[in-house]
Amino acid sequence: MMVSVWRYSHLLFAIISSAFLLMASITGVILAVEPISNKVQPYRISGADELSLAEVLTTLDDTYEEILAVTRDRNGFIKVSAIIDGANAEFYVNPFNGEKLADPIEKQAIYQFATNLHRSLFLKSTGRILIGLSSFFLILIAISGIVLIAKRQGGYRHFFSPIVRENFSQYHHVVYSRFALVPIFILALTGVYLSLLRFNIIPETPISMEVDYDNIKEEPALPHAEFELFKNTQLGDIRDLEYPFSEFVEDYYIIRYRDKEVFLNQVTGDILAEEKFPMVQIISSWATVLHTAEGSILWAIFVGLGSLAIPFLIITGFVIYFKRPKTKIRNEFSKNQAEIVILVGTEGGTTLQFAEQFQKKLLERKVPCFLGMMNEYNRFKSMQQLILITATYGQGEAPASAEKFLSLLQKKPQNQNFKFTTVGFGSTAYPHFCQFAHEAHQHLSQLDNGTAFMEVFTVNDQSFEAFQNWCTEWSQLQGMDLRLEKPKTMGNTLPSSTFKVLNKSELPTDETFLLNLKNLNGAKPISGDLLSVVPKEGERERLYSLGKLSDNSLVVSIRRHPNGLCSNYLHQLEDGEKLTATVIPNRNFHFPKNSKKTILIATGTGIGPFLGMIEENTNKKELHLYWGARTPQSLNLYKEFIQKSMQGGKLSHFKTAYSREKEEKVYVQHLIKKDRDLFAQVLKKRGAIMICGSIAMQKEVLYELQDICSQELGRDLSYFQNKKQIKMDCY
């Protein structure tokens, strides 16, 4: 079924019931404390459950004047009803010696208040109906939530796979709901059951045992300590025992077990009648125990945490929904007038925002274009070029708005020849980077009348810069010049900081340079975070990976492009000059502190964040660096730092691959192939591999790593990516 159906059902049920659920869950948390505070009282006597009824009744009869009943509650406390000095009394006893321990625990006012609010919102039957219905909605929310998580994770098998943190609400909503689903589901189900019971929709049929009074025996008369049943029944097995009303033989002992009731002749000890409780009664008893957690501290904590999760999930759920980018597609040309058809595959809505910017620029140039969703694929009569802009979800699958695309492609063939282009939006933090874009492109390539206009272009982590690059490349091939504007809603809202240039070291032959910066205020970056620089007002931002050498010194490694606005702007900065830029946290690319062995792989300026990570390796854990560049001279910029780090023990091994040193080109992937045992060992021992550099290098490196994973470790590469043992930041 479509993800959107599940999503909207999930949301709808939550909207309908959220206020009542909030009330029920908050009071539920308070009520979860009650069984714990009862259970910790010292009235449970160790070993009492193993005493026989014969022993207990003898002790109690010897101690008290007249016993009416003995009850064992869910806490294991033994309560006696007796007549003392002519008055009825109830109290807990020590069944070993009959000693009174305490009066029964009285329900505290706070729990009484919370119980009333929890059950009926102080609205009597109306409130009970509302709470019952909310519990029912909670079951539906839990079911649709399970389906949604499974869909997002790419199947039930991956239900508990790690989640990439995109933002606080999205991440924590999924993380906590995965663990809270079980208690929430049980609370909701038992809540509905208890409501149905209360309204007699589930009828509780009472036991109706008949005693054959005509055949009641009066002999042999035995003292009750001699009754077989009392000798063979342990105190822990019963729920309660009622003494006979009078001494007449027609009155009998009533003994209630967990699953049955027994009438016992008070003179001879014969069983007069016995009946199992009906199933409904047993289920009701279980539903009460599970829902109220009476008698179990662990269960009370479990369901208490489940209740606590509900308000959190309601709030984060609404934040996710209301923060989703809202875009309404406006088209100036109909689908059959358009020469360029842009179809979008999105789930969170961001990809559509990018596509809208692109469509806007085309419309400004009066290009007849149409923007729609990939699920709207149809016959487009005037289409000359189809542009797919799509995200990837699950384990490399289609996002919600593109689920039907591949089948529609077969069902709705175009009558004319057309070109096609695919832009994939994804994240290298996921094992199957932009896989759906590649798959869609592949399917289009198989059509007789479709021709690829460009290779698949991939955009990592919604990088506007990358999308702009694609747009420039595409528009040049089209013979036009399109410059996109970054929508305000897409801009990062993080505050900018001022940096002072400490120094600049340069390697003119390679057009690369290192900028040493000091943060004068604002954010506290970690190596691997990104520095967003806007070279001129109105210009798009460029991102650079940061290395942190000390609290006062950051480093960025930059390649200077001949016409590059930003790289040239940074290059002309003099020592002491100020730079305003924003630090963007890049959580998926921080140095793994818990890993005993780590391998860093970089090409060219990709070494930048690793310089900081090496410097931070003060514990001198095993750290390998593989670095690829054109010639040995390229190393001059970093040589001193590397040598110092190796001498200081912060870097254990350093290997280089130069592509223009000898006839035969050497790339980092060749080094990996040679050292495959080391790579296998590191992954096996829960170490980490970090990759930074070009996407082209990343592809080759991943290919090599995939081979090592399947050949040496018998697992897919994605297994280690999911465990965050492989981290990438490539561009």
Q: Confirm or reject binding of residue 372 to ligand FMN (CB under 6 A).
A: no
User: Token digits for 290?
Assistant: 């599970």
How far apart are the C-alpha atoms of 658 and 638, rounded to whole Å?
Answer: 15
Q: Of 673-702, which residues contact ligand FMN (CB under 6 A)?
A: none
Q: Confirm or reject binding of residue 427 to ligand FMN (CB under 6 A).
A: yes
Q: Of 132-171, which residues contact ligand FMN (CB under 6 A)?
A: 152, 166
**What DSSP assignment string belongs to 642-675?**
HHHHHHTTS--EEEEEESSSSSS---HHHHHHHT
Inter-axis angle of helices 109-120 and 124-153, nearest 10? 80
Q: Confirm or reject binding of residue 586 to ligand FMN (CB under 6 A).
A: no
Where does residue 55 rank: exposed (0-12), middle (13-18), buried (19+ CB within 10 A)? middle
H or E element at residue 18: helix 3-39
Q: Least CB distance from residue 424 to ligand FMN, whole Å?
A: 7
Q: Confirm or reject binding of residue 588 to ligand FMN (CB under 6 A).
A: no
Identify whether the C-beta of residue 345 lies closer than 8 Å to the C-beta of residue 388.
Answer: yes
Q: Least CB distance from residue 434 to ligand FMN, whole Å?
A: 5
Q: Least CB distance from residue 391 to ligand FMN, whole Å?
A: 3
Find tokens 């959580």 and name the residue.
Answer: 587
State which residue, 56 or 355, has the beta carbon closest to ligand FMN. Answer: 355
Q: Confirm or reject binding of residue 393 to ligand FMN (CB under 6 A).
A: yes
Q: Least CB distance from residue 590 to ligand FMN, whole Å?
A: 19
Q: Confirm or reject binding of residue 405 to ligand FMN (CB under 6 A).
A: no
State which residue, 326 or 644, has the beta carbon closest to ligand FMN. Answer: 326
How far apart are the C-alpha atoms of 529 and 523, rounded to whole Å?
Answer: 11
Q: Of these, 296, 375, 392, 722, which contacts ligand FMN (CB under 6 A)? A: 392
State which residue, 463 or 497, has the beta carbon closest to ligand FMN. Answer: 463
How far apart are the C-alpha atoms of 58 and 62, rounded to whole Å?
Answer: 6
User: Token digits for 379?
Assistant: 């016959």
Diameter of the chain by CA atoms?
115
How far apart are the C-alpha atoms of 560 and 570, rounded to whole Å?
Answer: 9
The amino acid that residue 135 corresponds to is: S
Q: Of 326-355, which residues contact ligand FMN (CB under 6 A)?
A: 346-351
Q: Confirm or reject binding of residue 434 to ligand FMN (CB under 6 A).
A: yes
The residues, ordered by sequence, that sit 6+ positions from 87 with a Cβ below 8 Å of its Cβ are: none
DSSP annotation of 540 reads P
Q: Of these, 132, 269, 426, 525, which contacts ligand FMN (CB under 6 A)? A: 426
Identify whether the C-beta of residue 687 lies closer than 8 Å to the C-beta of residue 693.
Answer: no
User: Which residue has its beta carbon closest to ligand FMN?
Assistant: 426
Q: Confirm or reject binding of residue 425 to ligand FMN (CB under 6 A).
A: yes
Identify whether the C-beta of residue 672 lies closer than 8 Å to the C-beta of residue 679.
Answer: yes
Sketch the per residue contact string, 443 through 482, with ligand FMN: x for CB under 6 A, - otherwise: -------------------x--------------------
How far apart are the C-alpha atoms of 300 and 280, rounded to whole Å?
Answer: 24
Q: Confirm or reject binding of residue 399 to ligand FMN (CB under 6 A).
A: yes
Q: Distances from the Cα of 133 to the Cαs of 72, 116, 127, 196, 500, in angstroms?
A: 34, 17, 10, 10, 61
Peptide bond into 95 cis (omega under 30): no
Q: Confirm or reject binding of residue 718 to ligand FMN (CB under 6 A).
A: no
Sketch the per residue contact string, 294 through 333, with ligand FMN: x for CB under 6 A, - otherwise: ----------------------------------------
Q: Least CB distance from residue 180 to ligand FMN, whole Å?
A: 18
State which residue, 357 or 462, has the beta carbon closest to ligand FMN. Answer: 462
Q: Confirm or reject binding of residue 396 to ligand FMN (CB under 6 A).
A: yes
State which residue, 91 or 171, has the beta carbon closest to ligand FMN. Answer: 171
DSSP annotation of 106 reads P
Site residues, ligand FMN (CB under 6 A): 152, 166, 346-351, 391-396, 399, 425-427, 430, 432-435, 462
